[in-house]
Structure 1
Amino acid sequence: MTDAGDLARAQRVFEDALNVAAPAPDVDVVETGLIDSLGLVTLLFELEREFDVKVPLESLEVADFRTIANIVRTLQSLRNGASP
């Protein structure tokens, strides 16, 4: 379950970092073309700053970043000390 406050923060970061409107939480942002590989790197950097977490690249799974809801769940896991 995703926290509504974290979801809103992630949507705001998505909009600010990529200069596009954030989709609904369960929309696949890769499949819809809202984000490409460079956009993913940009978004990842901004999310790490906003949520004060570090996403370990060796355990990074694209599936964890396909939807904003998945992104928030991944960030919450990292913040709680679990691997994504």
Structure 2
Amino acid sequence: MFIDREKELMFLEEKLNSKIFEFGVLHGRRRVGKTVFIKEAIKGKNAIYFQAHQTNMEINLELLSSLYGKYKNMVKISYNSMYELFRQFF
């Protein structure tokens, strides 16, 4: 359920629809709905959501590569670095 977040959702919607690359940070106290907010904002959009695990870079690279592969309907995809993976996004 989303209550009194229309203004914030409209702001994020504007940023998501921007024609230029923009980087944003969403921060706040624990358990206030940041993840739900992001998931609601990207619902129905050409977007993926990934939350890194507190492990190591190799595991996160493998997980994000797999998620990106599913998003692109690729069977098996692997990248050697985050740089190589992120180049695919743009």
TM range (shorter): 0.3 to 0.5
> Higher helix proportion, which one?
1
Could you say which structure has the greater relative contact order, defined with CA pairs below 8 angstroms and 6 or more residues apart?
A: 1
* Structure 1 length-normalised TM: 0.35
Larger-gyration structure (1/2): 2
